[in-house]
Amino acid sequence: MPANELHQLTIHEAHKLLKQRKISSTELTKSVLKRVAEIEGKVHACVTIVEDIALKEAKKVDNYIKTAHEITPLTGIPTLIKDVICTKGIRTTCSSKILENFVPLYDATVIEKLKAQKAVIVGKTNMDEFAMGSSTEHSAFFPTHNPWDLSRVPGGSSGGSAAAVAADETIYALGSDTGGSVRQPAALCSVVGLKPTYGRVSRFGLVAFASSLDQIGPITKDVTDCALVMNAIAGYDSSDSTSVPYPVPDYTRQLIPDIKGLRIGIPREYFVEGMQNQVRAALEAAIDKLRELGAEIDWEVSLPHTKYALAVYYVLAPSEASANLARYDGVKYGFSERDASNVIETTERTRQFGFGLEVKRRIMLGTYALSAGYYNAYYLKAQKVRTLIKQEFDQAFEKYDALVTPTSPIVPFKLGEKLEDPMQMYLSDICTLPINIAGIPAISIPAGFADNLPIGMQIMGKPFSEEILLRIAFAYEQATNWHKRKPPLL
């Protein structure tokens, strides 16, 4: 492959060439940086690019490879990181004015794990401010555009990461998922996105939005790459009190194109009113393909409490955000509004001018739900319904190995189309929210197109069943060519 096309490689393809010393990490990194320079003006996927740091690291990796007997799958591979994950010496903005110039003094655990594998960090990706949004239009800096149609959104909140992977601005990326923020943009950009089981991947160094819902996950060009990144970032971390000391398997061992006998349920509640006909048709065709591959399909599955998931999420997530974002007071770090007469006014004005409209909307929602007189009516009730939703999933997974649904009921919508209607924006995540509420894993994979706009299929499983999800996703991917299609971006 010519040096100027190396950015098109997957992790496993690039690893093979690096191992054979047919290419260098420097060449690979330069190709990625050149691609960023060429199309970033159209896509706007990145907040920060650290070219000098990346090339310096790539050169160090090349010297290491010369003497190493063996290299890991991520050694020398360029990556982009969602700008909600702390990176030592590289600014971490959360796409917010309030953290615009914040440079962490430490790495998140997932970054430490990537660096241990000698990955090359190229920069940080754009997102909805503090991960609150479904379109990456709520960034304080600029909206990100979908590489498949620059007039449309890439999804959110990890829209920058998904768009960058789809546009070959990186070999892979990390995102975070609180209510669908890895899977929904992966679906809308026709790439692979995995939300691991809650507690499977350390949240230490992830800037908190809703602590009981947040998870870091990979966004990749294919399922094999997804398994390789999970091998690197999964595992127990004593720095994260919610991390689970559960053995980490080699996820690549389940990448076999055989799903004969696996029981897959199709919950009817996820084929919602308002779902676009072409999305429904694509999902039905994808499910038929799973049946052809030997899976046992059952369309008679019901998860009746799913209809309450949206309401539960928009009580719990804003409530946790209200508490987590209280730390931004203009005193310790970040943006501070100095045109004030006392400390209280400084804090008020810092939040007034530092936070965007969507963040302020959710803080107010959460503060209201937690306030005296309303706690029992909203927050406590939402927690009880959350338990019912989780119990329904537990019961379903006693019978089925996995459940399959659309990732998004619609294809990418136009930039600006839903900005004035928050409720319509929230409905974009109707198929992904319940997974975070229950704490289970789910993966989104490319499953077709409608008028050249991507459609994603979501596969979910019981806690710590990522291996089964990857196996089903891999089998489907090998039997189709959706993941091989590239956006028409020059």
Query: Catalytic site residues?
Result: 82, 157, 181
Helix (H, G, I), strand (E, B) or coil at 447: strand
Amino acid at the residue 183: R
User: Can you tell me the distance from the alpha carbon of 381 to that of 414, in angstroms, rounded to the nearest whole number?
Assistant: 36
Amino acid at the residue 182: V
Show contacts of 100-105: CB within 8 Å, 24+ apart: 100/140, 100/335, 101/334, 101/335, 102/333, 102/334, 104/205
Helix (H, G, I), strand (E, B) or coil at 79: strand
Cβ neighbours of 101 (radius 10 Å): 11
Provide the pairing of β-strand 296-301 with 263-267. parallel
User: Can you tell me the distance from the alpha carbon of 284 to that of 301, in angstroms, rounded to the nearest whole number?
Assistant: 15
Helix (H, G, I), strand (E, B) or coil at 161: helix
Q: Which residues contact 318 (CB under 8 A, 6 or more apart)?
A: 210, 362, 363, 365, 366, 369
Distance of CA 207 to CAs 1, 178, 363, Å?
A: 39, 12, 16
Which residues, in sequence order, are bridge partners of residue 81?
Answer: 124, 174
